[in-house]
Amino acid sequence: MQPEVFRLIEKIRDVGPASDAWPDRLKSLADAPDLPIAGAARYYFNVRNGKQYPDETGQAFQSHQEAAAHGAMLAAELAQDGEWDGYMICVTDANGRIIIQIPVGK
């Protein structure tokens, strides 16, 4: 699994998916913002399962396609855990526009 997926799973397990405290504790998929990339835009990888658990830091990518591919990788990694069916990775741009929603699991 990618390091940011391990951090995401660790943060979620700290409070449990059903906890109301989760949105406050899940701050981002990474511990620190990534370095700026010339011409890149920031995308956010929010987790949804009826409620939204926002990624407050995001990550820079050169295109919507790169951000969507990263979201698909996150969803695939979470699906391997087996406890994420019904969840979704919602990739948004800096203006909050949904780029793609990727189901986790089946």
pLDDT, tens digit, 9 for 90 and up, residues 52-101: 889 999 999 999 999 999 999 999 998 988 888 899 999 999 999 999 99
What is the pLDDT, as a whole number, of residue 27? 38
More confident residue, 34 or 42: 42
Contact 11, 58 (CB under 8 A): no
Closest CA to 99 of 53, 47, 44, 51: 44
| Percentages (nearest 5) of helix, strand, coil residues in the chain | 35, 25, 45
pTM of the predicted structure, to 2 decimals = 0.66
More confident residue, 39 or 14: 39
37-47, pLDDT tens digit by residue? 567 899 999 99
